[in-house]
Structure 1
Amino acid sequence: MKSPNVSTEPPTRVPQFTVRLSSTGRGARLARRLAVQQLAAWGVPYDSETSQAVALVTAELAANAVTHGRTPGRDFRLTLLPLPEHGVVRVEVTDTRPKDRPRDPAAEPAAPDAPSGRGLLLVAAYAERWGCEVRDTYTKTVWADLTLDGPPVLPM
C-alpha cells in the first residue's frame, strides 16, 4: 500500500543559468555574450529575434547594474530562466543597491539632449513585461520577460 504523502512523479526542473560577474564594463559585456551563448545551448539560434532581443536587454540591464547599482567590491548577478509554459525567457540582473530603483522611463522621459536615460525604454520596447523586485535587504533584481520565437530545446 502506498503512502498518501509520497509523490510518484519526478520533480520538474526548470533549467536556469546564473553567473556572478564583476561590476565593470568588462563584466557587462561578458553578461551579454554569456546570455546569447546560453540561449544557443538551450536551442535558441544566435540569429533569432529572441537571441538578439535578449542580448540587447541583457546589455542594458547589466550596464545599469554597473553604472547605477554598483557597490565597490561587490559583483552583479545575471540569471536566465526559460519559461516555455509562458512562451518567454526571463532575464534577471541583480545588483547591490536595493534602494536605488529604476525610474519608469515613460513617466520620466530623458531630456532630448541628454546623453543617457533611454535604456529602459529599449527594455520596455523589447520585453513583454519588466519590473524590479527587492528580495532581500542587500540587493535588487531588475527583470524582463522576452517572447520566445519557438520552443527551446531545454536540457533535462
Structure 2
Amino acid sequence: MRFTSSPRGARLARRLVSHRLNGWGHPYASDVNETVSLIAAELTGNAVRHGNVPGRDFHMRLAVTTSVIRLEVTDTRAEKQPTAVCAAELDAEGGRGLFLVSQLATRWAVMPRPSGPGKTVWAELHV
C-alpha cells in the first residue's frame, strides 16, 4: 500500500500492519503482532523522517507465510542510506530505531528500489 510521507501516514501504516496480522491469526496482544508493529513503526517513521521527498509517498508491503512475516518499506530518497547500526548513547534523542529493528527482526537489510530512485528497507520475523 501507499501512504503519505507524514507522521499520520506512518501511524496509519503501523495500525494497518497490526490489523492485518490480527486478521491473519496473530492477535493484537500477541508477541508476534506487537513485535512486527514495532518494526513497522520504526521503518515507516524512518521513511517519513529520513526518506521523505516532498510530494512523494512511501510504500509498505506486508507478506505472511506459515513461518515468516516480511515487512518492506520503500521511499524515494536514494542518497540517504541507513548507517551502521549500534546502540545509541543513553542521553541521545534518536538513533535507536534500526538498532531495535536489528534486535527484534530475524533478518533485515536495505536494497535499491526496484522501480526507480530510492531504497527498500525490509525486515523478516520467523514465527
TM-score interval (norm. to shorter): over 0.9
- TM-superposition CA deviations, 1:18-59 (whole Å, max 9, x none): x10000000010011000111112121111111000110000
RMSD across aligned C-alpha pairs, in angstroms? 1.2
Say which is worse superposed, 58-67 or 97-106, in terms of deviation: 97-106
Does the 8 Å CA contact 1:50/1:147 hold for their aligned counterparts?
no
Letter in 2 for 1:144: A
Alignment partner, residue 112 of structure 2: 134
Select between 110-119 and 91-100 the one with higher mean Cα deviation: 110-119
Q: 1:38 aligns with which of 14, 20, 31?
A: 20
Task: Render the CA deviation track for 1:103-123: whole Å, top value 9, x for unaligned.
Answer: 1213xx434322000111110
What CA distance in whole angstroms lies between the structure 2 residues aligned with 1:89 and 1:25? 24
Are residue 125 (structure 1) and residue 103 (structure 2) matched?
A: yes
CA distance in 2, matches of 1:97, 1:112: 29
Gap runs ≥5 in structure 1: 1-18, 149-156
Cα distance in 2 for residues equivalent to 1:112 and 1:47: 29
The residue aligned with 2:52 is 70
TM-score, L = length of structure 1? 0.76
What number of residue pairs does the alignment pair up? 126
1:26 equivalent in structure 2: 8
User: 1:125 aligns to what SS in structure 2?
Assistant: helix
TM-score (norm 2): 0.93
Residue 123 of structure 2: which of 130, 133, 144 is its match? 144
Give the structure with the higher percent helix: 2
The answer to whether residue 51 in structure 2 is matched with residue 51 in structure 1 is: no
AA in 2 matched with 1:129 = R
Q: Secondary structure at the match of 2:71?
A: strand
TM-superposed deviation, 1:83: 2.9
Query: C-alpha separation between the residues in 1 aligned to 2:8 and 2:74?
Result: 16
Structure 2 spans left out of the alignment, 5+ residues: none
Whether 2:42 is the aligned partner of 1:60: answer: yes
The list of structure 1 runs, each at least 4 consecutive aligned residues, that deviate by more than 4 angstroms after superposition, is none
Percentage of identical aligned residues: 48
